[in-house]
A and B are shown apart, each in its own frame.
Chain A
Amino acid sequence: MTAMQKLLQLPVSAVNMVKTVQSQVQGHEEDKSPVLTPDGGQQTWYSALRPDELRHLRSGSSSAGGGGGGGCGGDGGRDQEERAPLEEGGGGNGSSQSQPLRHDDLKEMLDSNKDSLKLEAMKRIVAMIARGKNASDLFPAVVKNVACKNIEVKKLVYVYLVRYAEEQQDLALLSISTFQRGLKDPNQLIRASALRVLSSIRVTIIVPIMMLAIKEAASDMSPYVRKTAAHAIPKLYSLDPDQKDQLIEVIEKLLADKTTLVAGSVVMAFEEVCPERIDLIHKNYRKLCNLLIDVEEWGQVVIINMLTRYARTQFLNPNINESLLEEGGSGDKTFYGSDGNDDDDEDEEDKEKKAEAAALAKRKPYVMDPDHRLLLRNTKPLLQSRNAAVVMAVAQLYFHLAPKAEVGVIAKALVRLLRSHSEVQYVVLQNVATMTIKRRGMFEPYLKSFYIRSTDPTQIKILKLEVLTNLANETNISTILREFQTYIKSVDKDFVAATIQAIGRCATNIGEVRDTCLNGLVQLLSNRDELVVAESVVVIKKLLQMQPEKHSDIIKHMAKLTDNIQVPMARASILWLIGEYCEHVPKIAPDVLRKMAKSFTNEEDIVKLQILNLAAKLYLTNSKQTKLLTQYVLNLAKYDQNYDIRDRARFIRQLIVPTEKSGALSKYAKKLFLALKPAPVLESPFKDRDHFQLGSLSHLLNAKAGGYQELPDWPEAAPDPSVRNVEVPEWTKCSSREKRKEKKVEKPFYSDSEGESGPTESADSESYSSSGSDSASASAESGSGSQSEESEDASDSEEEEEEEDKKKVWKKEFKKLAQGSESEQSSESDERKRARKSKQQKSESESETDGDEESDSESSQSESDDSESEVDVKNKKAVQSKAPSKPVIKETKKEKKEMSLLDLDDFEPAPSPQVTPVNSFLSSSLVTDLEGLSLSDSVLSPAAISPSGTQKCYELLHRISGEGLSVEYCFSRQPFGPDANMVAVQMHFANSAATDAKNLHMEDVKLQSGMRVTDFPEIELLPAGETTTAVMGIDFCDSTQAANFQLCTHSRKFFVSIQPPVGELMKPVFMTENEFKKEQGQLMGMNEITEKLTLDVKCRNEHAIVQRVSAAANLSRVPCGSDKECRFAGRTVSGGSLVLVTVATEEDGSARLTLNCEKMVIGTMLVKDVLLALTQ
């Protein structure tokens, strides 16, 4: 429009303005009556509007008076626009007579041929809709304008249609043809908007039309139209679920779309229509992973949530090995009872299965599916998203899918969200609370971020408190309690009560501070605020139930409180305590009853019930003093107004006072009343919430919401991964991969019989060649991200190598085909090392399992050794160094005490430093150097007791995630030179990448408070294909908390963590039998743990026991007069607490394990480990 035209239009709007102002004056007068008559919810609505209305009225009239000049007109015009809805608002609900009148006005405007009038009318109508007013009677007038040329009017008509089409179906059909025309429009935006509105009209009759439109739009050229089609799918589905099959076809088609614009919307449609059709995702999985970062935020959330579910059905649990092998790692959790039950059950149920799996795991390290890795890698950058929902989605994905060591990365991002709006905080804290129960270590470095501010809303405070309580452990408890102490003085009483309960929970969970907490709570009993006192009483009651005998003075103190405290719950708690432990306070209890009897009639019901309880218990224990009192109380209760109390009194009287009528039950009265009550378990309300997918509404409500998709459990065996290959896979590929999988599973069972291993090998070698080429072709096909190709290749080739290595090992060990294997083996140094390593593992496991055959196989081995070439000698070295040791042990056993005593005396206090590092790790040259030494030196023989050979290696960085660099670590069990409080950790680096790794060093060490680390010296250069070792020291503070740090090369950083098994946290200490007995005598009671066990069949001789115990823990043997008992002693490395272990065996294979240690946590965990070692 030109300026001229605009001016020409002025009179129209001016006239219009005057008109509306007039009508509004009327309208306002009419409105008065409905305002005055009380009219339900609308009443407030009017009164809230009144001032506005008046204001508009005033300004409107003034502008009308001014004649609608330029500037003024602007003002007035805007007013008009706003005024209209207000007026309609009044009219819509006002008297019925005025309504048609005013709507006539609107209809008139809509019928006019001036777009400006139509627009004005539509605006007023839309404003009515926005306010929730009924405008349905305008439908015929509005729908006529659907074909209006003016795009602004059109838009508003669309808005109206979408809102009212459902109510006026017949009339709505009039508009359909317009949309059908719109779907053919050359402009993509018009096509999209036509589809959008068409699909929003909820009229069943047009379902076929919609279906057709969606199908057409799904193959539209424009991605925007395709996106709209994806949005339309759930709309149609909710309108007519019968269309599901056809819609799934459309979804399948759209899922294959390669544009980021469509991805989010179509996954949304997938989730709403057919979330169970997980098979539709296979082919699009890699594409979705790679596109993810470019999808808009909302789409990212939906896709990530869907992929979490997908991954749970398609990949193997990455933590399966860790959870089996590092039982000690989860031990600290079980100690606190958070998920102890589960573990125990599992232990018993699947013990055999686990043993098998553990054996399997030892031989076959878990290899992550490259697709699984792809998902983890591509979602990680999204932790940096500005959108909290995306961050949460990634966090839950990591929590549910990532290997334990990698989950930590999400903590920082989640903590960042705590700075966001309080609603976001609320949701995030709920999720963090659930996570802290399972993975406490993850959030421990961020403890202070959960400190509570006085300005936080109460619900946030209570959630933070929950997190702090979950994070509490023996190292940080003092800090946390200090924080709690300030909270107790808060003004917010709900929060104070929650704090007291939190203290109670800390006290039950952490034995060390139980007494301090208890004392603190007792002091709170003298607080002025009654609520605080009451809450404390309740919590103290729970705590006392755990060890009542120690705390009779507290019970006495609480007995005194009955005079002052008025809160019924607290009074009842005190009375229950006194009754329950009346034997500990024999003098006071009857007196309390006397006082209570006096005030009985004035008490609250719950207090009365407890008085009855107290009376009954006292009558049973101390009837002489309390007989009359009890009778009195029972009589009072007999006439109480509350039937509950009358019933209770009648029941108790029958039970405790023996009469002729009372039956046999009264004999058991004492047992009934004074039975030992189990202490209550103070649990987090967030326990077990993680069976809901984190971040979901269901998790938050702890109840299944409608449409919630369960997070499936990990599969036992991974489904065929080739389904994700994008191009049609050749059948050979599938079969070869399947074959390999089978083989993996079966291998351990074959290992004993050489006859069977032959055929499998040959089958293998075939499959390798084919799979090798397949993987190459597969990676070429995927073509989307170069990284994914690499990883895929790497893993494949690695698997191959491993298999090959094993093959060789078998050949050598069982067939002794020295010549043949030699020629095969002369490939790479890298491979050789692997071979050696795996062989050693093999030999270890062998020696563990078939103890009887040992000597035979060893002797035959040593014979064959001579015939083997030099390389083989090197490789066999580790086995040999152990081989001679065993006969010696047997000798010592035969010669009994004298000999072994002498040996141990000489050896144990200072294990020779050269021996222990000779693990599988040293480079081959060093091994040869040491060879003579180890073979000739007879001092080495007791090395079997400090089992250097049986050390476990743990993976720190896998080759794939390390991009060629692999790092393993083991606990060398040597004193760490620079600091005696540190545990020496030996790290073995192997660079299998094509490029050199430079400047290997540590950075950004994240530790639990108190822990310290001495970095290993920087490794300047690790050439490709080379290996090296380094030693670092960690002071774990006698806890099994992981030390997290970054391992840096010149180009990359890797997050890694080292978690010690509890057995490595101690150093051997030498003591005599007498000393041992003396120390043991001082560590009785709570410091002693005794377990009964049945020894494993292969572990019934002394030697086996010694070997297994010392494999499980770094302890030294203590000489002992009886051959039925084995004793071990050590001190924790950091704290120097004494650890004493005794294993007493019986004839029938059962045994008793006693452990004395002043650190209860260490003790409990160690007992678990030792038990496991002896029974498996």
Chain B
Amino acid sequence: MIHSLFLINYTGDIFLEKHWKSVINRSVCDYFFEAKEKALEPENVPPILQTPHHYLINIYRGKLFFLAVIQTEVPPLFVIEFLHKVADTLQDYFGDCSEGVIKDNLVTVYEILEEMLDNGFPLATESNVLQEMIRPPTILRSVVNTLTGGSNVGDTLPTGQLSNIPWRRAGVKYTNNEAYFDVIEEIDAILDKSGSTVFAEIQGVIEACVRLTGMPDLTLSFMNPRLLDDVSFHPCVRFKRWESERVLSFIPPDGNFTLMTYHVSSQNLVAIPVYVKQNISFMETGSCGRLDITIGPKQTMGKTVEGLLVTIHMPKAVLSANLTATQGNYTYDLATKVLVWDVGKLNPQKLPNLRGSLSVQSGAPKPEENPSLNIDMKIQQLAISGLKVNRLDMYGEKYKPFKGVKYLTRAGKFQCVLMFTKSVLGSLVPGGLTHPTEGEPCIRADLDGGRLSFPHRLLHGLH
């Protein structure tokens, strides 16, 4: 199983090492540094590397590499999931998982790692249990600790491991009993040039913050649970009740946790809240191009779209942009060739528009790559899939808790494909079309039917 762990920062310094079996020299990381050098981008470092005597499995989180060294066969996902669990735990403890924070709490981090694995096999990974053994630092406690010379190490022994409910610590007490649930949905979508949907799905997550005394047994039910296409649960959720009644029945962990994640995929269920009209072109000769982008609301269910942010990765040849935005402001980063347009709130009466000219490196040929346009946004108080929490019941305890549900929709990987040049592979698709024109989103469905003929009217659809 997991032999050793190295934490490595962005520049390639090892700032923490922990060995669960015998010590492995940190020179083993040289193989990793080599791969990192080769990959250029940290995201492109292969997660699994083979060295003559070891296997290195790494993850990249918050500008840090977590590098696990293993020696024998082990499911790679097992290690990857564990490393993410470590990162999550640290985040849980210190509110952030960065180099500075870890260095500031080195001893606590080391103790946490010691508890999480025994001989390379996970021992206590539930944060409720860990927090009982090693208390997270708080301002108050650090004051007290200084005065008393105490530390964050718990002085009473944990009991959590021994209860039947490994994820909840015993003896929880609160004066204010409250349970909050955030239903957060992200829309992943790929839109084509005309704005019709190539692919769309909703990824939802229910984050819970439960501070309840004793051993409450909660039941959360939805108005429309059939919407959910695919779900995954925190281990506390009783799967059988979900199977038979479609309700979430669980004894919650104490504090913050992710109750469930779900997935809504049927295309017609996914409402796309905004549309993008864009036109970008470059002159065949000369060194300029034009850009014109308009964003408008589509299916917002009467709510306002906020925090609208458009990011465009321009072709390398684009030197600068001279644009005017009717709303918000834009920046163009010359080094990374990224155009960012911060729109803010979307006003349906006056649609925000960004237009102007682009100057292209003179003498450079007309760019051929597709710029991609990514959209970021937020809609408060709306779950775009229409999911609604019906009620929350508590059993097993006498008091009346305060309950709350919040909804939020935001863009996940929301991407528009921009096309400004004639298709290079025009005849690759039978019929010679590259993309359907506006207003005819059904073409894709036609194609799916496997019939290789095209409606004739589409043959004019080339741009």
Q: Are A and B a genuine interacting pair, yes or no? A: yes
Q: Which residues of A contact B (CB under 8 A)?
A: 1, 5-7, 9-10, 12-13, 44-45, 48, 52, 70-71, 73-74, 76-78, 81-82, 85, 114-117, 119-120, 123, 126-127, 129-132, 151-152, 155-156, 159, 163, 166, 187-190, 196, 199-200, 202, 222-224, 228, 231-232, 234-235, 238, 261, 265, 268, 293, 296-298, 301, 305, 381, 384-389, 391-393, 412-413, 415-416, 419, 421-424, 426-428, 448-449, 451, 453-455, 457-459, 474-476, 478-479, 481-482, 484-486, 488-491, 503, 512-513, 516-517, 519-520, 523-524, 527-529, 695-698, 700-701, 703, 705-709, 1009-1010, 1037
In-complex Cβ contact of B427 among A202, A516, A703 (8 A): A516
Q: Is the CB of B125 within 8 A of A486?
A: no
User: B residues touching A (Cβ–Cβ < 8 Å)?
Assistant: 1, 9, 11-19, 21-23, 26, 41, 43-44, 46-48, 50, 55, 58-61, 70-78, 80-82, 84, 103-104, 106-107, 109-111, 114, 118-119, 121-123, 125-126, 139, 142-151, 153, 155, 157-158, 161-162, 166, 188, 190, 198-199, 201, 203, 229-235, 239-240, 243, 258, 261, 263, 313, 315-316, 365, 368-370, 372, 374, 413, 415, 417, 419, 421, 423-430, 434-435, 444, 447-452
Q: Which residue of A lies closest to B158 (CB)?
A: A189
Give Cα A238–Cα B162 distance, bound, in whole angstroms. Answer: 28
Which residues of chain A have C-beta atoms less than 8 A from B119's C-beta?
199-200, 231-232, 234-235
Give A124's nearest chain B residue, CB to CB: B107
Whether A479 contacts B448 in the complex (CB less than 8 A), given A7-B147, A187-B157, A231-B119, comes out as yes
A707: which B residues are within 8 A, CB to CB? 72-73
Chain B residues, Cβ within 8 Å of A129: 110
A523/B424 in contact, CB under 8 A = yes
A126–B452 alpha-carbon span in the complex (Å):
69
Whether B147 and A479, one on each chain, are in contact in the complex, defined by CB atoms closer than 8 angstroms, is no
A110 to chain B, nearest CB (A): 14
Find out whether the CB atom of B47 lies under 8 angstroms from the CB atom of A427: yes
Known: A44-B12, A77-B145, A453-B413. 6 other contacts (CB 8 A): A74-B147, A202-B22, A293-B239, A412-B230, A474-B450, A488-B424
Residues in B with CB closer than 8 Å to A486 are 370, 417, 419
**A contacts with B: majority SS:** helix
Which chain B positions have C-beta within 8 A of A524? 424-425
Task: Collect the chain A residues with CB atoms within 8 Å of residue B434's CB.
Answer: 482, 485
Interchain CA distance A516-B454 in the complex, whole Å: 15
B113 (CB) vs chain A CBs: closest residue:
A130
Instruction: Report the bound CA distance from A448 to B148 in whole Å.
Output: 60
Whether the pair B21, A238 counts as a contact (CB closer than 8 A) is: yes
For the complex, give the distance between the alpha carbons of A73 and B147 in Å.
7
Asked whether A392 and B75 contact (CB < 8 A) given A228-B118, A427-B80, the answer is yes
The number of A-B residue pairs with CB atoms under 8 Å apart is 348
Shortest CB–CB separation between residue B280 and chain A, in angstroms? 13
Given A188-B162, A529-B368, answer yes or no on A384-B233 (Cβ-Cβ < 8 Å): yes
B251 CB, min distance to chain A CBs, angstroms: 13
Among A413, A455, A708, A1037, point to the contact of B449 (Cβ < 8 A). Answer: A1037
A427 near B76 (CB under 8 angstroms)? Answer: yes
- Residue from A152, A200, A223, A265 in contact with B155 in the complex, judged by beta carbons closer than 8 Å: A152
Q: Supply 7 A–B pairs (Cβ within 8 Å), ascending by A.
A: A77-B146, A77-B147, A424-B81, A426-B48, A476-B450, A479-B444, A482-B434
CB-nearest residue of chain B to A10: B147
B368 and A297 contact, CB distance less than 8 A:
no
B72 touches A152 (CB 8 A): no
Interchain CB contact under 8 A, A697 and B149: no
Q: How far is the CA of A939 from the CA of B356 in the complex (A)?
A: 81
Chain A residues within 8 Å of B424, by CB: 485, 488-489, 523-524, 527
Q: Contact between A416 and B263 (Cβ–Cβ < 8 Å)?
A: yes
List residues of chain A with CB within 8 A of the CB of B142.
74, 77-78
Q: Pick the contact of B235 from A228, A297, A305 — CB < 8 Å?
A: A297
Known: A9-B148, A82-B103, A222-B162. A1009 touches B13 (CB 8 A): no
Query: Are A116 and B106 in contact, with the CB atoms below 8 A?
Result: no
Cβ of A704 to closest chain B Cβ, rounded Å: 8
Which chain A residues lie closer than 8 Å to B12 at the CB level?
A: 44
> Do A127 and B22 have beta carbons less than 8 Å apart?
no
**What's the nearest-Cβ distance from chain B to residue A912, in Å?**
33
Q: Which residue of A lies closest to B82 (CB)?
A: A298
Q: Quick one: given A119-B151, A421-B80, A454-B313, are A520 and B16 in contact (CB under 8 Å)?
A: no
Complex-state Cα separation, A619 to B448, whole angstroms: 50
Q: Which residues of the partner chain B approach A45 to less than 8 Å between Cβ atoms?
A: 13-14
With known contacts A159-B114, A705-B73, A482–B59 Cβ distance under 8 A: no
Taking a contact as CB atoms under 8 Å apart, the answer to whether A159 and B368 are in contact is no
Partner of B428, one of A297, A381, A516: A516
- Please state if B73 and A708 are interface contacts (CB–CB under 8 Å): yes
Task: Determine whether the beta carbon of B157 is less than 8 Å from that of A453.
Answer: no
User: Which residues on the B side are within 8 Å of A126 (C-beta)?
Assistant: 107, 110-111
What is the distance, in angstroms, from A53's C-beta to the closest C-beta of chain B? 11
Give A481 to B13 CA distance when docked, in angstroms: 44
Determine if B77 and A392 form an interchain contact, defined as CB atoms under 8 angstroms apart: yes
Shortest Cβ distance from A232 into B: residue:
B119
Closest to A1010 in B: B449
CB-contact partner of A479 in B48, B143, B447, under 8 A = B447
Q: Are B73's CB and A13's CB within 8 A?
A: no
Shortest Cβ distance from residue A348 to the other chain B in the assembled complex, whole angstroms: 34
Q: How far is the CA of A484 from the CA of B434 in the complex (A)?
A: 11
Residues in B neighbouring A476, C-beta threshold 8 A: 448, 450
Instruction: Give chain A nearest CB distance to B351 CB in angstroms.
Output: 25
Whose C-beta in chain B lies nearest to the C-beta of A489?
A: B370
- Cα distance, A274 to B372, chains bound together (Å): 54
Contact B107 A697, beta carbon cutoff 8 Å: no
Set B18, B75, B199, B419: member contacting A301, Cβ < 8 A? B75
Cα separation A1009 to B449 with both chains bound (whole Å): 5
A388 near B81: Cβ-Cβ < 8 Å: yes
For B14, list chain A residues within 8 Å (CB).
45, 132
Taken together as a complex, chains A and B put the C-alpha atoms of A78 and B74 apart, in Å, by: 39
Q: Contacts A476-B448, A485-B428; is A453 near B46 (CB within 8 Å)? A: no
| Assembled-state Cα–Cα distance A426/B44 (Å) | 11
* Interchain CB contact under 8 A, A74 and B146: yes
Asked if B428 and A517 make an inter-chain contact with CB atoms under 8 angstroms apart, the answer reads yes
State the Cβ distance, B116 to closest chain A Cβ, in Å: 10
Q: Are A701 and B162 interface neighbours, CB within 8 A?
A: no
Bound Cα distance A513, B119 (Å): 55
Choose from A449, A516, A695 the contact partner of B429 (Cβ within 8 Å): A516
Give the top 5 A-B pairs by smallest Cβ distance, nearest first.
A77-B146, A116-B149, A520-B428, A1009-B448, A707-B72
Question: Contacts of B82 on A, CB cut-off 8 Å?
Answer: 298
Residue of B nearest to A17 (CB): B146
- A448 to B448 Cα, complex, angstroms: 12
A709 CA to B125 CA in the complex, in Å? 27
For B106, list chain A residues within 8 Å (CB). Answer: 82, 85, 127, 130-131
Cβ of B450 and Cβ of A13 under 8 Å apart?
Answer: no
Q: Which residues on A sit within 8 Å (CB–CB) of B125?
A: 296-298
Known contacts A78-B146, A491-B316, A706 near B429 by CB under 8 Å: no
Chain B residues closer than 8 Å to A381, beta-carbon distance: 239-240, 243
Partner of B107 from the list A114, A123, A384, A488 (CB cut-off 8 Å) is A123
B75–A455 touching, CB < 8 Å = no
Report the Cα distance A151→B154, complex, angstroms: 8
Bound Cα distance from A708 to B15, whole angstroms: 32
Which residues of chain B are within 8 angstroms of A389 by Cβ–Cβ distance? 75, 77-78, 80-81
A contact residues around B423 at 8 Å (CB): 485
A52 to B448: give the CA distance in the assembly, Å.
60
Name the distance in Å between A1143's Cβ and chain B's nearest Cβ.
31
A427–B59 alpha-carbon span in the complex (Å): 12
Shortest CB distance A764–B (Å)? 40
Residues of chain B lying within 8 A (CB to CB) of residue A512? 452
Measured between C-beta atoms, what is the minimum distance from A1127 to chain B in Å? 30
Pair A482/B78 contact, Cβ less than 8 Å: no
Chain B residues lying within 8 Å of A48, measured Cβ to Cβ, are 9, 11, 13, 15
Whether the Cβ atoms of B430 and A427 lie closer than 8 Å is no
Is A298 a contact of B230 with CB atoms below 8 Å?
no
